[in-house]
Structure formats: structure tokens, C-alpha cells
Amino acid sequence: MLKKLYIKNYLIIKEAELEFTAGLNILTGETGAGKTIILDALGLILGERADYSVIKNDKLVIEGHFEFNKNSSVSRFLSQHELETEVTEQKKVLTVIARRELTQRGTTRAFINDTPVSINDLKEFGDLIIDIHSQNEHQSLLKKETHIDILDKFIKDDKRAVSFKKSYEIYKNIVFELEELINKKESLLEKKNFIQFQLKEINDVNPQPNEEEELENELTKMENVEEISTGLNSCIKLLYESDVNAAGELRASVKELKKISKYDSGLEKIAKILESAYVSVKEAAEELRDYANDLNFDPLRIEQIRDRLGALSFLKKKYRLTVSELINKSFDLAKELDFTENFDFETEKIQKNAEESKAKLIETARILSAERKTAVKEIEKKVNAYLKEVGLESAQFKAGIRNYEKEETGYFIYKSGTKNIYISGDGTDDVEFLIVTNKGGEYAPLRKAASGGEISRIMLAIKASLSEKDNVPVLVFDEIDAGISGRIAGKVGKLLKELSSTHQIISITHLPQIAAMSNNHFYVSKKDAGKETVAEIKKLSEEEKINEVARLLSSEKVTASSLKTAKELISD
């Protein structure tokens, strides 16, 4: 449940903190005082799109404090996203804090338990915990495409829907692979001759890994063999062969040190160091002599290297690639050429896979459709019962379901008798909610048959029907009382109260019959504060609640009669 909501710098709300309770939380107050702003702010910490024009001063901050059962879907979400949380042992609940910050510069940051998260993560979290029903959502009920999702919530075994989604994604990916293969074949066949030419051109040169660097080193050595030889001979003489050389001088030094070491044993250590140096110099001189003997000036080899480097350079410039990239290109070209020559085999293999996947998809779609047809009976029974509770005694709700047919053929069409059945991401069913509001009338789509006030009550009836199956703990209603009054308002209030036994309810209302049902009541007003107007949000005591219900009954002016009626409404 939502324990606390903190709002700062949101339009006329300078700073506010609301503490909610379990059960039915009601917001009433002046028109334009900021009641809807509170729900909009709540939407922001659930990942809704931000409107930066609402920011007052430099930064807008919204923070929600929540508590959940530690075995809930929220617990799994936190674990999957590695978000730290506090578990209160006494209450066995998770404490979660979600925060959103927006600046006038157009930046936004989101946090869950002080860990930065993406807006998508915030929205995923929000979808698990709160269901907001606004006037806009009432209108979304008029859209046929939303009806199949509502119906699916009545399916007892949601594994059917999960299984279908999985099969659909597998088949869709295979179809994509097949179409890509066919398109690629057409493209490759058009340039097959060009592929063969490029492959032959590269393979005729046959570049090798590290070849260019090795050839350049060898060429540099051969072109400078005379200078290298002169330097080597000078070095060998200085180290070992001249009358005065390094090896000879080191050997003489060792000999002298050994003579005098009998007077100071510490000189023996130095003598050994020089003796080791003598051996190293002698070995180096011998290796240099061998290196000099192997030097070879070969004009023919120089010409071969230059020709080879020229061929590599030509390919590099033509293809604008390095030698290693040319080698990789030859492999890729060979694969493309092999593909064009073995296309029919590859296509046949994927087509067979597609046929098997489609057969499985059709089967899972049929099972899902059967589950929906069973769920239709349940949703119709429950919604019609709740429609009577909210004052639509003559209304009859019906969930129409039939196969989605198309005239054309294609990957996502299959034949059933004489019909071409279309498979979408939702299955093969075309679902639309129908209603008749008056006795003797005919069923018609909601968008044609229901008025604004009726749509609000139909939405409430559907939500009440779903309450046992809906795992979302918090339900928010923005003016669920639109277009109703009197006796009907009392019925809507009682249904909200009934829902609040299994869900935390937060609702804005203008009707005393609904406000009287509250477990927790907030009054929202506005006042002038210097040069600006600001909102004030007050949690009402029991006496203040009675006065507010009386105000709603008597249109602002509280009378003794309205106070008496308010007490009666609250005590019922």
C-alpha cells in the first residue's frame, strides 16, 4: 500500500506530504485547488511521461513510501533489479521508496530505494503496485482494442496466455529470418558475379596475417645491409677483436682484482661481477659475428618483396581496408557465395521450421481462445451483478468474441474450413464489449450505447469483478462519480467501500455519499500567499470530515440539517 506521498514544486503545490491508510482514502475540495495534481504527481513516480511546464521553481520532487508483503511480485521485481530494500521483521513487510526529480532544464532522474533506475524500470514497478483510473481511462474503455486485455485477466490459468506469447514470438522470429533470407538471396544473386570477382581478386593476392609488417622489416634490413654490416664489424672489434677491446679489458681487470683480493675478501664479489660481464660481452660478440655472417644482399629478393608490398597496397587502397580486414572480407565473400549456391537447401530448412512453429502456434491460439470463451461467461455474470449494484438495473453487459478473419493469405493466416483466420500478438480472437442500457434495447458497442456517467460505473463494475484476480494492491479513481448523484452515488460509494476491503483505494470525489464512506479524508484548498496562489492539503479529523460531508450536501453553506444528514451518511 501507499503509506506516504511527498510533493514539492508541482504547479500550485509548493510542498505537501500526505499520509494514506488502508481502506478508502478520499480527496475532496475546491475546484482547481490541486486534487487532480496529486494524482498526476503519483503518476510521475510510476513512470508516466513528464510535462516540464508543471515545475515550480528549479526542481520538482515527488516521493512515494510504500509497504508490501515480502512474498509479493514487488519482492521479485526488487530482487531481479538488485534493488536494496528494508524488511520489517515485526510486520513482515517490504518498505520501498520511489522518487522522481525533474528540473526546468529538462532533465529527469528516478530512484528506487535511493538506487538510480530508468524510467522504464519505474514504470514496470508502477504497473505492479498501482492502477490509476482517470477520465482518460474511462474513455479508453470505449476503445475496442483494450477489451481483450481485460478479458484475459479473467482467465484462470494465465499459463495459456504465456504459452501463446512465447509461441508467437518464436514463430515471428522464424518468419523474420525467412523473409530476410529471401530478400538477401535476391540481393546476392544480383551481385553474384561481382562477389566472385572480388573474392578472386583478394584470393589471387592471398594476404596473410602479419605479412605486411614482416615484409617491411625484411625490406628495410636488406636495403641497408651495407650500413648494418659496417656497424656490426665495428661493434665486434670494440667488444672482442681489436688490440684493445672490451672483453680483453674486462678479463685483465678480473685478473688484477683476484691478485689483490687476498688482502680484502670483499673484492672477490666485485671480481665475480666483472667476470660475469666478461662472459656476457664475449657471448654478445659471438652472436653479432654469427648475425654478420648471415647477412645477405639479394637484389632479386628485394624486388619480390617490393612487388608483394605493392600488391597488398593496391588491395588496401581499392577496398579501403587493412590487411587483416581484407582477410576477413575474403571469408565473408566466400560465405555469401556459398549461400547463393546453397540457398534452396537453407530456405527449405527454415520453411520446415516455420511450418512446425506455425502448427504449434495455431494449437496454443485455439487453447487460449477456448479459455477466453469460458472466461466470457464469468465476466458477463460478475459485471452484470455489479451493474445492478451501481444503479444500472436494466443494463446487460456482453463480451462478444469471434475469430479474427481476413481475406488475404500470409504467414499469419491459416485456413479453418472456408475461413482465413488471422493470428495477431493477442491470438485469433476479436473481442468487443457490448451493452444494452434499457429493457428491450439491442446490444451495441460501449462507445455507441453508454453515456459518460454510465461509462464510469461500467468501469467500476469491471474493476470490482476483477478485484479477486487483480494483484495490484492500490486502486486510484479520479472522479469515478462523474455524471451520477443521489441514490446512485450511494451505491457507487458502497461498492468502493467493498473494494477497499481487498485493495487500498484513493479517490477524488465531489459527492457526499461517497465521501462519507472514507476511512481517511483529505481536504484540498487554495490560498493567496503573497504574489502566488498555493494549495493546502489537510487530513481531516472525524469532526472535520462531518463538516466537509455537510458542505458537499449543502453546496458550501453548512446548515444544521446538512450536519445531521452528514452524520447519518457516515454512520450508515
Q: Give just the sign of the alpha carbon dihedral 80, 84, 90, 91.
A: negative
pLDDT at 522 over 80: yes
Confidence of residue 24 (pLDDT cuts 50, 70, 90): very high
pLDDT at 26 over 90: yes
Q: What is the pLDDT of residues 93-125, one digit of tens each?
A: 788 999 999 998 888 999 998 899 999 999 888
pLDDT at 167 over 90: yes
Higher pLDDT, 33 or 169: 169
**Domains parsed from the chain with CATH numbers:** 1-142+470-538 (3.40.50.300), 195-340 (no CATH), 541-572 (no CATH)
C-beta of residue 519 within 8 angstroms of C-beta of residue 22: yes
* Alpha helices in 144-245, H assignment, sequence order: 147-152, 159-190, 192-205, 211-223, 225-236
Average pLDDT, the chain: 86
pLDDT at 453 over 70: no
293 three-state secondary structure: helix
Cα 61 to Cα 11, 181, 451, 478, distances in angstroms: 12, 51, 38, 22
C-alpha cell at 44: 510521475
Higher pLDDT, 170 or 36: 170
pLDDT at 296 over 90: no
pLDDT at 81 over 90: no
Q: What is the pLDDT of residues 310-359, one digit of tens each?
A: 999 999 999 999 999 999 999 999 988 887 777 778 788 889 999 999 99
487-505 average pLDDT score? 87
Beta bridge partners of 478: 508
548 three-state secondary structure: helix
State percent of the chain over pLDDT 90: 31
Task: Please give the full DSSP string across 192-210, using - where no structure is assigned.
Answer: HHHHHHHHHHHHHH---TT
- Separation CA 353–CA 334 (nearest Å): 26
Q: Which of 347, 345, 230 is nearest to 295 (CA)?
A: 230
Three-state SS letters, 472-492: CCEEEEECCCCCCCHHHHHHH
C-beta of residue 208 within 8 angstroms of C-beta of residue 214: no
**Which residue shows C-alpha cell 660481464?**
277
369-377 average pLDDT score? 91
pLDDT at 409 over 90: no
Instruction: Give the distance from CA 425 to its chain's centroid.
Output: 19
Q: Give just the sign of the alpha carbon dihedral 360, 361, 363, 364.
A: positive
Q: What pLDDT, on a 0 to 100 scale, did the predictor assign at position 166?
A: 92
Q: What pLDDT, on a 0 to 100 scale, did the predictor assign at position 320?
A: 93
Amino acid at the residue 112: I
The H or E element spanning position 571 is: helix 560-571
* Alpha helices in 390-485, H assignment, sequence order: 446-449, 452-466
Identify each DSSP E strand in 304-457 by its residue range.
396-403, 413-416, 419-422, 429-436, 444-445
- Separation CA 369–CA 321 (nearest Å): 56
Q: Name every residue whose Cβ is closer than 8 Å to that of residue 226 and which is 6 or more positions away in sequence.
A: 297
Per DSSP, 238 falls in state: I
Q: Which of 551, 192, 123 is nearest to 339 (CA)?
A: 192
pLDDT at 427 over 70: yes
Three-state SS letters, 341-361: HCHHHHHHHHHHHHHHHHHHH
**Which residue shows C-alpha cell 518464436?**
170
C-beta of residue 8 within 8 angstroms of C-beta of residue 14: yes
68 three-state secondary structure: strand
Q: Which of 239, 303, 306, 312 is nearest to 277 (CA)?
A: 239
Q: Name every residue whose Cβ is closer than 8 Å to that of residue 298 and which is 6 or more positions away in sequence.
A: 222
- Phi, psi (rounded to 5 degrees) for 61: -130, 130
pLDDT at 175 over 60: yes
- Separation CA 85–CA 98 (nearest Å): 11
Higher pLDDT, 190 or 290: 290
In total, the chain counts a number of residues equal to 572
C-beta of residue 339 within 8 angstroms of C-beta of residue 346: yes
Instruction: Provide the Cα torsion 160, 163, 169, 171; round to 10°.
Output: -100
The H or E element spanning position 328 is: helix 323-341
Out of 35-49, 148-162, 223-237, pick the least confident: 148-162
The H or E element spanning position 382 is: helix 343-389
Cα 458 to Cα 20, 39, 375, 450, distances in angstroms: 27, 21, 18, 9
Q: Which residues of 331-341 are buried (b: 16+ CB within 10 A; e: fewer)?
A: eebeebbeebe
Q: What pLDDT, on a 0 to 100 scale, did the predictor assign at position 170?
A: 94
Q: Which of 395, 527, 409, 417 is nearest to 462 (CA)?
A: 395
Q: Name every residue whose Cβ is closer than 8 Å to that of residue 442 and which is 6 or more positions away in sequence.
A: 436
190-194 average pLDDT score? 82
Q: Give just the sign of the alpha carbon dihedral 302, 303, 304, 305.
A: positive
Q: How far apart, in Å, do the first and last CA atoms of the chain sit?
A: 26
Amino acid at the residue 48: E
**Which residue shows C-alpha cell 494492491?**
473
C-alpha cell at 84: 536494496
pLDDT at 228 over 90: no
37-43 average pLDDT score? 87
Reduced DSSP (H G I as helix, E B as strand, rest coil) percent helix, strand, coil of the chain, to 5 = 55, 20, 25
Q: Which of 461, 401, 480 is nearest to 434 (CA)?
A: 401
Rounded to 5°, the CA angle 115-121-122 comes to 80
Confidence of residue 423 (pLDDT cuts 50, 70, 90): very high
The H or E element spanning position 3 is: strand 2-10
Answering whether pTM is above 0.75, one says no
Q: Which of 18, 29, 5 is nearest to 549 (CA)?
A: 29
